[in-house]
Structure 1
Amino acid sequence: MTGRSRSRIDGAMVSSSALRTSGDLIADRRYEYARGAFDERDFEATADLARQVLELVPFFAPAQALLGRSLMELGHREEAIEALRQALSLEPDDALGVRLDLARLGALPAGEAISGGYVRALFDEYAPRFDGHLTGPLSYRGPELIADALRRACHERMRPHRFGLTLDLGCGTGLMGRALSGVASPLEGIDLSPRMLDQARKTHLYDALHEADLVSFLAGRPDGEADLAIAADVFVYMAGLEAAFAGAYRVLRPEGFFAFTVQAFDGEGFSLGEDARYAHSETYLRWLAATTGFSVVVLDAVSTRRDRDMAVPGYLAVLER
């Protein structure tokens, strides 16, 4: 992991990665001073110190990213874009999350703002305190809401409230697995972050855990094998959901359920918010369900978490293949 870009995650500001040495002690110290200046909103000092770092270590991506962000705050758009693009060229996996900044500057389409590398780095750092922060200050209750919706969906379809093979897409530390304990077996978890998977492993709830992005994972699974696929608070890091819906539809058996939550967008399609999360509209979700072949069993307006003591609007869906 590299640098320490400041990014929003589930309503809180966290650093998306820890400091990786540049290989030059003086450069590392100046970079630390630059980070401190940025946190204090002294963007002139940040830019000056970041440039000093780059004079010593020209290919240190975290310093390029910090220079770009300070220039963005100072209103120097073109210079900021140049620095951020340089950072991205140095580290294309984008653990630093500069794609988000480029999208905010209009230099990258909103649908390309969040990369798998960024999400992996973000959650690798977040993993040790994820459960406490999410279920404490943010009052996150997505898994409980999904579990209740699945009970209602089973009643609606007059089927037993038990599930065979269940795929927890973006399982994180295992909060969804806990909510499904006793009603889903076997249970497999999928996540981009190895450190989140380490936490999930400690729950002893999963029969298998896989480090992968959900679209690629689904593409490699057999047709019609699963009874239930779940994506709890996962699609907030994805723009278009066509591939995810198609993959879920293919791996589900007939009458299998696909359950998920999203943040709500009062418009058409999807939007990248100031919280660095995607929101999706009800019309987009219904259109995707229909075009993919799903039937809508549940589609409720809900809030799965709070941000700054305000409920974050969203949707919860249970679709049937």
Structure 2
Amino acid sequence: MLPSQLSSGDVIADRRADYAKMLAENGEPASAAELMEQALELTPGWAAGWFTLATYREKAGNTEGAIEALNKVLALDAGDVFGARLKLSVLGAADLPDQPPSRYVERLFDDYADRFETSLVEKLGYSVPQKLAALVADTAGMPGHFRLVVDLGCGTGLFGPEIRGRVDRLEGFDLSKGMLAKAAEKGVYDHLGQADLSLSPLQSGVFDGGLAPARADLITAADVLMYLGNLQGVMAIVRELAASGAVFAFSVEDAEEEEGYLLRDSLRFAHSEAYIRTILAAHGFAVLALARSIIRMDAGRPVHGILFVTWKSA
């Protein structure tokens, strides 16, 4: 559910917000912002309404007003379920965060779960699961079969069918319960669990219920790391999961810069090849194969990514 669709609890305010949405969809963001301001006069504690107002103001070219509204969102919702801090960073009003708030990511994908595959695969040409599985299969020296695969950020389980025929046991973890429910419907995974990849290994949920460390000979993360930014934490989880000589295969959005990572207008992070290589080496992983590819479309433009196949070398 989009922020603009979350009720204020006031019938008149909701009606004005609905009219504002219609104006925005008709290309009149300034008029939409005026109507949202009127709605918020009636319900000043409506965090979702302030976030929507920020969106309209930004589209109308009122960056200062958008920043003001986003700061109001944070004052009303310290947990930042709407990702206001990310937006403030994009607008130049906050430092680059290491990662998005977990509540924001969880809500984003819970709300997206029912239409995720239709939207991403059919409309945006998303192809990372197939391309990543093919890169693993084509990498020199790769085993033909894996004992245990852990699919981090498994989402609705799109990667599972691509690898199922080559594994004995397949585990999937995701922050969103809605996405996990969709993955369960596929009947492909032997185990599914909720996990927060932004936390420490023991807090993440990947080792809950007696699930042992160093148990996986293949770990995957297809289209996941763009929601994390700083990858030190998730690499610690991968290192703990990986058996000796384990393979870690994953994708990132290509920052197309020499180093570091950045936050894009999409509120997704993009990482440079140099940053990935440095952080892999720091955690004892070496690159076996790398491929650059268009991984999806976004607003009619191609999103360029990098696919990596690595192994635990130390």
Query: What is residue 10 of structure 1 aligned with on the other side?
Result: none
Query: What is residue 77 of structure 2 aligned with on the other side?
Result: 91
Contact in 1 for aligned 2:200/2:233 (Cα 8 Å) = no
- Tell me the distance in 1 between the aligned counterparts of 2:253 and 2:48: 30
Match of 2:269 among 272, 275, 278: 278
Normalised by the size of structure 2, how large is the TM-score?
A: 0.89
Between 285-294 and 122-131, the greater mean CA deviation after superposition: 122-131
Normalised by the size of structure 1, how large is the TM-score?
A: 0.87
- Tell me the distance in 1 between the aligned counterparts of 2:240 and 2:269: 24
Contact in 2 for aligned 1:99/1:112 (Cα 8 Å) = no
- 1:62 CA drift (Å): 1.6
Aligned residue for 1:174, secondary structure, equals: coil
Query: What is residue 297 of structure 1 aligned with on the other side?
Result: 288
Aligned residue for 1:36, secondary structure, equals: helix
Code of the aligned partner of 1:130: F
User: Is the alpha carbon distance of 1:117 and 1:208 closer, same or farther for their aligned partners in structure 2, counting shifts above 3 Å?
Assistant: same
Are 1:25 and 2:15 matched, yes or no? no
Are 1:34 and 2:20 matched, yes or no? yes
After superposition, give the CA deviation of every residue in 1:156-185 in whole Å (9 maximum; x if it has no partner): 23x532112211111111110010112123
Query: What is residue 238 of structure 2 aligned with on the other side?
Result: 248
After superposition, give the CA deviation of every residue in 1:34-90 in whole Å (9 maximum; x if it has no partner): 222222332332222222212211101122112223333344443332221111222
Match of 1:165 among 138, 143, 148: 148
- 1:112 CA drift (Å): 5.0
Code of the aligned partner of 1:245: M
- 1:241 CA drift (Å): 0.9
User: Is the alpha carbon distance of 1:215 and 1:228 closer, same or farther for their aligned partners in structure 2, counting shifts above 3 Å?
Assistant: farther
User: Is the alpha carbon distance of 1:146 and 1:217 closer, same or farther for their aligned partners in structure 2, counting shifts above 3 Å?
Assistant: farther
After superposition, give the CA deviation of every residue in 1:158-213 in whole Å (9 maximum; x if it has no partner): x5321122111111111100101121232111112211111101011112211222
- 1:217 CA drift (Å): 7.4
Aligned residue for 1:111, secondary structure, equals: coil
Are 1:3 and 2:3 matched, yes or no? yes
Are 1:65 and 2:55 matched, yes or no? no
User: Is the alpha carbon distance of 1:28 and 1:103 closer, same or farther for their aligned partners in structure 2, counting shifts above 3 Å?
Assistant: same
Quote the RMSD (CA, aligned, Å). 2.1
User: Is the alpha carbon distance of 1:112 and 1:64 closer, same or farther for their aligned partners in structure 2, counting shifts above 3 Å?
Assistant: farther
- Tell me the distance in 2 between the aligned counterparts of 1:254 and 1:68: 49
Code of the aligned partner of 2:146: F
Are 1:136 and 2:122 matched, yes or no? yes
Contiguous gaps of at least 5 residues in structure 1: 5-18
Match of 1:181 among 139, 160, 164: 164
Contact in 2 for aligned 1:231/1:260 (Cα 8 Å) = yes
- Tell me the distance in 1 between the aligned counterparts of 2:68 and 2:216: 46
- 1:243 CA drift (Å): 1.4
Are 1:122 and 2:108 matched, yes or no? yes
Query: What is residue 68 of structure 2 aligned with on the other side?
Result: 82
Between 200-209 and 73-82, the greater mean CA deviation after superposition: 73-82
Aligned identity (percent) is 38
User: Is the alpha carbon distance of 1:102 and 1:179 closer, same or farther for their aligned partners in structure 2, counting shifts above 3 Å?
Assistant: same
Code of the aligned partner of 1:169: L
Contiguous gaps of at least 5 residues in structure 2: none
How many equivalent residue pairs?
304
